[in-house]
Chains A and B, each alone.
Chain A
Amino acid sequence: MAASLRLLVRRLARLSHRSITSAAANVSWRSGCCLCPSSSRCLSDAAEDRSTHFGFETVSEAEKAKRVYKVFENVAQKYDIMNDAMSLGVHRLWKDMLLHAMHPQPGARLLDVAGGTGDISFRFLDYVYYQQERQKRRATGSSQSLSWQDISDKYPDEDRPQESRAVVCDINKEMLKVGKQRAESMGIISGVSWVVGDAEELPFDDDQFDIYTIAFGIRNVTHINQALQEAFRVLKPGGRFMCLEFSKVTNPILASLYDAYSFQVIPVLGEVIAGDWKSYQYLVESIRKFPDQEEFKGMIEDAGFCCVQYFNFTGGVVALHSGFKL
């Protein structure tokens, strides 16, 4: 009875923010979304009884979301610099490999959850733009031998709305702010939307996106299974779920080196560059708490995805999981 009441309240909350969503074609709106899920969560008393891990600490589930929010609020400004410093620039390669595996076709819509500063979305837009350029070049190349009439007939075709759009969704407004600043400085005006939203309860309708990515974000989510189910919901049939995340290193020598580096060097870097030891301590601890490759693969399959595969990068430091909604 209590469970169904809770469900009812959650549905009422969703009803109210779905009615706003359905009216607008562009889904970029501010803090209204954040209030509703948190209010429904406040009404649920069982969440506070359950505890979860925050790094190596144990906290209640309601507490975890707040603390994660604070961590990323603190690190937002220095997030990109710290990424480069901690991974010695290798994170760019990991993200490039994600895009390469994704191989998006022109016209695809991407949802980048926990996308924060927009790394994946910018790469996605670049990739798709390049693909479109190649196609156009091929089309004009093949039309070299056509008559003038045919060539002029082709021109209207190129205005076909083949726009690919990327939607960056993050629960943290600071991260989105940094991302927007980066977009402006890179000169990317159209093609990206910035949405505040919770991965466990996405503010989107069903069957909206071709590709769902979550890069280095899913280990911060309190209920990973819920996030996976939401991913399943918002993807179109045939859509692809891709998750880039730190995972278990298989090689024991590399593992000990990696552990030493994680616990000795990274928090120090955090203190020196970003002035925040604790956040980076949380970061390396949360990596240890995340399930390993096979277990996460099982979780993805439970959410309903099929053809689930994972690829290890850098010996297992990072794993790319991919599943399809079919």
Chain B
Amino acid sequence: MAALLRGLRAGRLLRGLTSVVAAPTSTHAQGSSLRRGFHFAALKLQDESKSDKPSVSSSSSSSSTITNEHHQAQSAEQDNEAASQQHSDPNCSDQEQDEDFETEEQRQTRILTAAVEFVPLHGWSMEAIAAGAESLGLSSASTGMFYNGAGDMVLHFISQCNSKLTEILAEQHNQVQLGQAEPKKTADFLRDAVETRLRMYIPYIETWPQAMSILLLPHNIPDSLKHLSTMVDDIWYYAGDRSTDMNWYTKRAVLTGLYNTTELVMLQDSSLDFQDTWTFLDNRIQDVVNMATTAKQMQSTGEAVAQGLMGAAVTLKNLTGLNQRR
């Protein structure tokens, strides 16, 4: 019985071969389909006894043996038909083997990462996601998974940038800990962190206004604010801030303002390597530092003035004799 089935499968393979030769109905490159067909047929005859590809037998939950055999037979057919597809997409075969281990989120992340490559061409839109999915060998219909559409892609890109920034800051921190690098002053640290982060936008700067407008859509605002605040918090943490009073809020508010204004300047900056933007950033940080020192000075001056006034008042009272108690 099993021998009969195997014979049938071999027959189907040979028939599949002739279909590959005679009428290449698949949309893949026809030139090398013949070679691929032979190659994979040879492989298939060797792999007959091996288990099915997980992508086909994913319906293993169905209990009847008939359906299992049904799928086993179909897998041989499907593998042959999809032979050229697998060959041209090495990612696909890896994906099939890891399919049991990959969660839906990981898959979505992969598609979005691929989609970001197509942004300069299509903008931040569903077309970019469709192009990304197709580059991974998936049908463009898989864009339906992203109910937020372009918003998903932009938020994914932002969280990727934030993770990259955190890695860089952690690396620098380690180096300082190991004594291989000098610890930077706060102002310099902030400047470098903001510059590193904003430089990640440079490849997409043409379409970045579109991305910002997507982030401002009401249903995206909570997520974009969340990403912004975590990024600002991370930067301050690695800058060494451990404050537990009002300073915590003021520092983060200041950095948020700094970051947002610099981003806006960057959008319309046409100087070489965005020099104007970094100059703007320097000036703003300087302003912040100045303001901090000015505040301190004002406070001490205020105290001194208050004490002076108190002294004058006491002297006056002495002079007029109000202080005497008789």
- In the assembled complex, which residues on chain B have CB atoms less than 8 Å from the CB atom of A6? 66
Please measure, in the bound complex, the distance between the C-alpha atom of A235 and the C-alpha atom of B55, giving whole angstroms.
12
Complex partner residue of B59 from A101, A103, A232, A307, CB under 8 angstroms: A232
Contact with A along B1-36 (1 / 0, CB 8 A): 100110010011001000100110100000000000
Q: Is the interface of B mostly helix, strand, loop or mixed?
A: helix
Please measure, in the bound complex, the distance between the C-alpha atom of A304 and the C-alpha atom of B96, giving whole angstroms.
14
Q: Is the interface of A mostly helix, strand, loop or mixed?
A: mixed
Contact with A along B45-68 (1 / 0, CB 8 A): 000000000010011011001110
Please measure, in the bound complex, the distance between the C-alpha atom of A309 and the C-alpha atom of B67, giving whole angstroms.
25
Query: In the complex the two chains form, is A19's CB within 8 Å of B15's CB?
Result: yes
Asked whether any CB of chain A lies closer than 8 Å to the CB of B145, the reply is: yes
Query: In the complex the two chains form, is A205's CB within 8 Å of B126's CB?
Result: no
Q: CB within 8 Å of A: which of B77-120? A: 77-78, 81-82, 85, 92, 99, 104, 107
* Chain A interface extent, by class: 35 or more
Query: In the complex the two chains form, is A207's CB within 8 Å of B78's CB?
Result: yes
A22-B138 contact, Cβ under 8 Å, with A103-B143, A207-B81: no
A7-B70 contact, Cβ under 8 Å, with A105-B126, A207-B81, A324-B145: yes
The smallest C-beta distance from A234 to any residue of chain B, in angstroms, reads 10
The smallest C-beta distance from B174 to any residue of chain A, in angstroms, reads 38
Query: In the complex the two chains form, is A207's CB within 8 Å of B138's CB?
Result: no
A7-B138 contact, Cβ under 8 Å, with A102-B144, A206-B78: no
Please measure, in the bound complex, the distance between the C-alpha atom of A292 and the C-alpha atom of B99, giving whole angstroms.
29
- In the assembled complex, which residues on chain B have CB atoms less than 8 Å from the CB atom of A225? 62
Query: In the complex the two chains form, is A211's CB within 8 Å of B141's CB?
Result: yes
Query: In the complex the two chains form, is A307's CB within 8 Å of B139's CB?
Result: no
Please measure, in the bound complex, the distance between the C-alpha atom of A326 and the C-alpha atom of B67, giving whole angstroms.
20
Asked whether any CB of chain A lies closer than 8 Å to the CB of B127, the reply is: yes
Please measure, in the bound complex, the distance between the C-alpha atom of A11 and the C-alpha atom of B142, giving whole angstroms.
31
A238-B141 contact, Cβ under 8 Å, with A105-B126, A302-B62, A326-B107: yes
A-B contact pairs, 11 of them (CB 8 A): A1-B1, A8-B4, A18-B15, A105-B126, A105-B127, A108-B141, A210-B141, A229-B70, A238-B142, A302-B62, A324-B145
Residues of A within 8 A of B (CB): 1, 3-4, 6-8, 11, 15, 18-19, 22-25, 101-105, 107-108, 135, 205-207, 210-211, 225, 229, 232-233, 235-240, 302-304, 306-307, 322, 324, 326
**With contacts A206-B74, A206-B77, A326-B107 known, what are 8 further pairs, Cβ within 8 A?**
A206-B82, A207-B81, A236-B139, A238-B136, A238-B138, A240-B139, A306-B104, A307-B104
